[in-house]
Amino acid sequence: GNSVTQMEGPVTLSEEAFLTINCTYTATGYPSLFWYVQYPGEGLQLLLKATKADDKGSNKGFEATYRKETTSFHLEKGSVQVSDSAVYFCALSSTGGATNKLIFGTGTLLAVQP
């Protein structure tokens, strides 16, 4: 079945450091891929998405490229800020069926220190 694997946290970085959070997936068909972010005490927010191979999603300085050959969708940011501290979830949605439910990874906690 479809699944998402993302790197375990917590990831602790200093402000202005480079961020990579790895995400790989297993899916039949051609899924859409997403990164959601959950700030402390808040709900899930869509950070970025990509709907086909080689698409790059970007938002707020974060980027991720849909790599079909490596079944990956790694999240990157060139310079993190303290305000980026949150839990990041990688997810996929299979467009082969009618539901388009999201399948999430376990989440990666990012802590950015000043």
The contact set with another protein (CB under 8 A) reads 4, 32, 36, 42-46, 49, 51, 89, 91, 93, 95, 98-107
3-state SS class at 68? coil
Q: State in angstroms the smallest separation of the CB of 111 from another protein.
A: 15
Q: Which is nearer to another protein, 17 or 103 (CB)?
A: 103
Q: Which is nearer to another protein, 17 or 22 (CB)?
A: 22
Show Cβ contacts of residue 32 under 8 Å, excluding neighbours closer than 6 positions: 49, 50, 51, 92, 93, 95
The residue type of 88 is Y
3-state SS class at 82? helix
Q: State in angstroms the smallest separation of the CB of 64 from another protein.
A: 15
Q: Which is nearer to another protein, 43 or 114 (CB)?
A: 43
